[in-house]
Structure 1
């Protein structure tokens, strides 16, 4: 099982609501650079937060890698989402390769939970950062961090 976790690209600082913040041009470039690392992947699904910046990041990835499926919008990957809800949902997925486009602090907490098995060691992810995790199943402490790529580093 391979799981990629992508933090959305840089977003505008303000909008009518946090959910309505859009990617900046820098954010689109970050998303494209991170997507380049997924060109060899055989993604079974792309899941994304309903927030504009995550949807836009997912669309940049979809276009960059030529993914023919639709981006699935899922409500459990917002910035303050509950890890337990995410784990219940992910346990029902059958894809062998999956990409989740989401936000901090959720993405760092989820990555840390999957790799270390607890919430006390979140993985730091800048905008546009892409983490690749691998394991027999998506479960707390049972995945290995294969790589962590930052688009500007």
Structure 2
């Protein structure tokens, strides 16, 4: 199976001039994207051995909202604030074993660069979007998922609808 690195880009945030960069908050849309990301991953029955987040407010809040849907607790990791790279990604995965699935919550352009370095794919991780990479060895990986916020919302909505239908038929 190999290990998997899942990257969740923070949801939509306040404009750059609203406050200092580390303190920028999510907009209402960003909050919805963050919850939908967690619910969408939960609908896919994703489980994570660990979740790490940038300490920047918008990423930390994204992680908290997504993790509430996933039933896990995020841990702040300073390298995710800026300069997150393949070496950092490997270190996080190695800390959890050869078949770990780890979710990181942070920022572009770091996430797009990590995916490019691991897979050779040039991708655009949308705000509130997710990319998944399966690692095969120490240096190469395969892009296994690239989900936009819209797709995560649809997965979450289908899962909620199925839960409501199941509850209605069990009476």
For the superposition of Structure 1 and Structure 2, which TM-score range results when normalised by the shorter chain? 0.7 to 0.9
Task: Give yes or no for contact 1:9–1:31 (8 Å, CA) kept in 2.
Answer: yes
Task: Give yes or no for contact 2:10–2:34 (8 Å, CA) kept in 1.
Answer: yes
Would you say how many aligned residue pairs link Structure 1 and Structure 2? 144
Asked if 1:56 corresponds to 2:54, the answer is: no
Q: Name the structure 2 match of 1:4.
A: 6
Asked if 1:106 corresponds to 2:110, the answer is: yes
Distance 1:22 1:77, change over 3 A: same
Q: Name the structure 2 match of 1:148.
A: 146
Root-mean-square deviation (Å): 1.9
Task: Give yes or no for contact 1:15–1:21 (8 Å, CA) kept in 2.
Answer: yes
1:133 deviates by 1.2
Structure of larger gyration radius: 2
Task: Give yes or no for contact 2:50–2:102 (8 Å, CA) kept in 1.
Answer: yes
Distance 1:87 1:4, change over 3 A: closer
- Which residues in structure 2 correspond to 1:78-93 (within 5 Å)? 78-79=81-82, 81-83=83-85, 85-87=87-89, 89-90=91-92, 92-93=94-95
Q: Which is richer in helix?
A: 2
TM-score computed with the length of structure 1 as normaliser: 0.84
Distance 1:2 1:82, change over 3 A: closer
- Which residues in structure 2 correspond to 1:9-28 (within 5 Å)? 9-13=11-15, 14-28=17-31
Q: Following the alignment from structure 1 to structure 2, what is the Cα–Cα distance between the partners of residues 108 and 57?
A: 18
Task: Give yes or no for contact 1:76–1:85 (8 Å, CA) kept in 2.
Answer: no
Asked if 1:66 corresponds to 2:68, the answer is: no
Q: Following the alignment from structure 1 to structure 2, what is the Cα–Cα distance between the partners of residues 29 and 82?
A: 25
Q: Following the alignment from structure 2 to structure 1, what is the Cα–Cα distance between the partners of residues 141 and 21?
A: 31
Task: Give yes or no for contact 1:131–1:147 (8 Å, CA) kept in 2.
Answer: yes
- Which residues in structure 2 correspond to 1:124-139 (within 5 Å)? 124-137=124-137, 139=138
